[in-house]
Chain A
Amino acid sequence: MKPRIPQPLIAFLLFLYASLLTAQPDLEKQLQTRLILAEDGDVIELPAAKIELSNTLSIDAKKRITLRGAGQDKTLLSFKKQKQGAEGLKVTNSEDIVLENFTIEDAKGDLIKTQSVNKIVFRDITARWNGKPKKSNGSYAIYPVQCQNVRIERCTAIGASDAGLYVGQSDSVWITRCYAKNNVAGIEIENTTHAWVYGNFAAYNTGGILVFDLPDLPKKRGGHVKVWKNKVVQNNYRNFAPKGNIVGKVPPGTGIMVLATNHVEIHDNFIMDNRTASTAIVSYFITENKINDKEYNPYPSGIYVHNNVYSEGKRMPTWKNKLGFLFWLKFGRKVPHILYDGIQDPGHLPADGKMAPAARICIRDNENGSFANLKADKKFKGISRDLQPYQCDHEPIPFDPE
């Protein structure tokens, strides 16, 4: 018979083991086994160590699971040597999941993807690709898609070749106190309803904060998105998205961009030194992509941009983008802060040619907020700088803290 090992010894050895961890397949397997066998309600602690992984770590069909690291500077999940899987960490078909207190880096695809999860919290997570931002980096750092009740709090996203914090086809989303830098898009809300984006810092990306509705998706319409009290600074980074992606068309120097979404309120943001388009309100036509989706509405409507603060800093548009170059031709070294492509939804235009009140674009009370209607539908001829037609307001989008 084998000698019995006293339990304190096991605990001690476990501790020793955890503190010696470097990168061995046993640990990866152990961790994945733990996640597969987890019971509803479990808290799974990650050790204070660098853990190198070769495959996606996944959680599927669980309830009330917390995956907790020892801190962003202590627990490091590295996918530098990943061999299989298109994500670093993946959570699917689950409910009430908390991911917190760790750093995750260098996955071959997305860093953290969660799909079909109701109630998901990302808290105190750093998700990054190391080195100079490049197109071979994965698409999304933090990527909830088709989720409900998403909270992203105090997270940092760096180096995504598409979007750092990206929420797609979801409902009820809070993004707050996050930092997104050196991504193509810092924060992107796509085909998502009821999103509250506030108190974040989006800097040194190609575009700071994007609110997009795109065609050909199962969730057709986003909207009711409120973006406020964010600092959107110097998003002038070169666009390193692989070609073919929609964000590849975002001009370097974009602060906040609303594309084809309805009911978006942008207010009390501090938008500084974004060289090409501090705030842009555009239709899908600006992408010059074909539209096959008959149910898709390519026009922005019900947009309300107010009480933002713009700086008098850099306003020399980029030449490395067709639109940027066009802005330079039209405006020279002083591109206006707020740009509207001027393409109106014919469905919202009654006989008098005025937009239905609920669909209007309202722009008012912005500090330093110079403006242009680009008249993109008239081949950018007759650009108007007159803000008078946009002096209206919408009901503020209510903030639901729960």
Chain B
Amino acid sequence: MNRSRSIRNKHFFVLICLSGIMLSVARRQMPNAEAPKLHLSEYGFFSGKLSNLAPAQRVYPYDVNAPLFSDYAVKARFFYLPERTKISLSDSLAWDFPEGSILIKNFFYPLDAGKPESGRRILETRLLLREEKGWKALEYLWNEDQDDATLEVAGAGFPVSWVGPDGKKKEIQYIAPNLNQCKGCHSYDGRFVPLGTSTRQLNRSVNGKNQLADWAEQGLLSSDHEFDPATLPQMVDYRLEHTTSAMLNEQARAYLDANCAHCHNPHGPAASSGMFLNIGELQPGRLGVNKPPVAAGRGSGRRKYGIVPGKPQESILVYRMESDDPGVRMPELGRQLPHKEGIDLIRSWIREMK
């Protein structure tokens, strides 16, 4: 569907009015900070054809151990590191990167997941910019021709379809978040923070080589650190087949950490719930074990406790993962489809829990 045409069809004078407001708003914003670039291409993150996402100088791809589920969208992640700067590692939270750094996350669907040669459609690129005062998010929506992406402040919704690995056509109303919604997850004590770029997420082998070791060799990491990755924290990849119940536990905790703990931690937006799913949480009650809901409302689904050991079908956690109702489903943002593989993992984990 061509969105620009449908917009053109609407009342012309409405557009004039809107642009009038936009201009006045934009003018007021200017003195505040460096104006965000209108197009993704202006940053020069990628060399050659933009949609090939081939990193330019000082732009480095990265991958994480436990990804956030986003309606089966695939993500291509990069960071841009300014010349003559280095990253300081931190053990528990996401890295704070030197000023001027930018995290670049591209969201796309393969046209046909069964046939990689069929190509892909890139939908959006989300940037996290490390400015002097802290982090800022910007979002760019790709055009139909896939030759550039344009700044979008207030988010957007549009239909997307693709063929899944099972050969079946999938279709959703894709929702690109507005900037406030970015912070709905990227928040720590009310400050904007990155999420996926923690040591335990990035301590991972990519193409046979550990990312951290690779970056250390290239001189991207500040040198007062020990770079034997084996001594650094590492999250397990929850997509692997588990072999022991200890591994199952680790995978479930990794999954919950990546998919829930950005809000459900003592410093996150869901701190008020008293349910903490961050990987460091050790108290069963705070994980939700036999914990009654606080403000779940109909999100409780007539179930009594967050987690009932041995009984996934009685656990609110599972109910909310399975729901597609905006007033019930968890996470609240960024997911419309149930994540079958994730649900299976959490179900097995609760089933084995004593």
Contacts and interface: CB of A to CB of B under 8 A. Distances in A.
A93 interface: yes
Nearest to A18: B17
Contacts of B20: 10, 14
Contact of A86 (B179, B275, B327, B336): B327
A86 B326 contact: yes
B153 A85 contact: no
Given A139-B298, A145-B295, A242-B302, A34 B25 contact: yes
- Secondary structure type dominating chain B contacts: mixed
B29 A37 contact: yes
A140 interface: yes
B333 A26 contact: no
Contacts of B285: 216, 292-293
A5 B16 contact: yes
A289 B292 contact: yes
A55 B327 CA distance: 11
Interface string B251-293: 0000000000000001001011011000000001110011111
Contacts of B106: none
B161 interface: no
Contacts of B178: 32, 36, 55, 58
B64 interface: no
Given A60-B180, A84-B326, A139 B17 contact: no
Given A32-B178, A33-B153, A145 B296 contact: no
A244 interface: yes
Interface in A135-178: 135-140, 143, 145-146, 161-162, 166, 168-169
A36 B269 CA distance: 18
Given A138-B297, A244-B303, A292-B285, A145 B14 contact: no
A366 interface: no
B17 A83 contact: no
A244 B10 contact: no
Interface in A6-38: 10, 13-14, 16-17, 24-26, 29-30, 32-37
Interface stretch (A108-116, A222-230, A299-307, A326-334): A108-116
A162 B297 contact: yes
Contact of B293 (A93, A169, A244): A244
Report which residue of B16, B175, B327 has the largest number of chain A beta carbons within 10 angstroms of its beta carbon: B327
Contacts of A217: 272, 274, 294
Contacts, number: 179
* Contact-size category for B: 35 or more
A218 interface: yes
B297 A109 contact: yes
B8 interface: no
Contact of A216 (B292, B316, B332, B333): B292
Contacts of B157: 25, 54-55, 83-84
Contact of B294 (A25, A29, A85, A216): A216
B181 interface: yes
Contacts of A90: 180
B301 interface: yes
A23 B32 CA distance: 33
Contacts of B336: 84
A90 B184 CA distance: 10
Contacts of A166: 295
B21 interface: yes
A387 interface: no
A60 B175 contact: no
B272 A61 contact: no
Contacts of A116: 190
B301 to A, nearest CB: 7
Contacts of B326: 82-86, 108-109
Contacts of B183: 60-61, 92-93
B35 interface: no
Nearest to B182: A60
Interface in A57-71: 58-61
Given A34-B25, A36-B153, A217-B274, A245 B290 contact: no
Contacts of B301: 242, 244
Contact of A30 (B21, B32, B156, B298): B21
A43 interface: no
A183 to B, nearest CB: 12
Interface string B292-316: 1111111111111000000000001
Contacts of B271: 146, 218
Nearest to B191: A93
Contact of B300 (A242, A289, A290): A242
B155 interface: yes
A26 B292 contact: no
A246 interface: yes
B180 A245 contact: no
Interface of B: 10, 13-14, 16-18, 20-22, 25, 28-29, 32, 153-157, 173, 175, 178-181, 183-184, 187, 190, 266, 269, 271-272, 274-275, 284-286, 289-304, 316, 325-327, 332-333, 336
Q: 7 tightest CB-CB pairs across the interface, nearest first? A: A139-B297, A244-B300, A108-B327, A93-B190, A292-B285, A243-B302, A58-B180
Interface of A: 5, 10, 13-14, 16-17, 24-26, 29-30, 32-37, 39, 54-56, 58-61, 82-86, 90, 92-93, 107-110, 115-116, 135-140, 143, 145-146, 161-162, 166, 168-169, 214, 216-218, 241-246, 289-290, 292-293
21 contacts: A10-B20, A29-B154, A30-B18, A32-B155, A33-B25, A35-B180, A55-B155, A83-B157, A84-B326, A85-B326, A86-B327, A92-B187, A93-B183, A109-B297, A139-B299, A214-B294, A216-B291, A243-B303, A243-B304, A245-B297, A292-B289
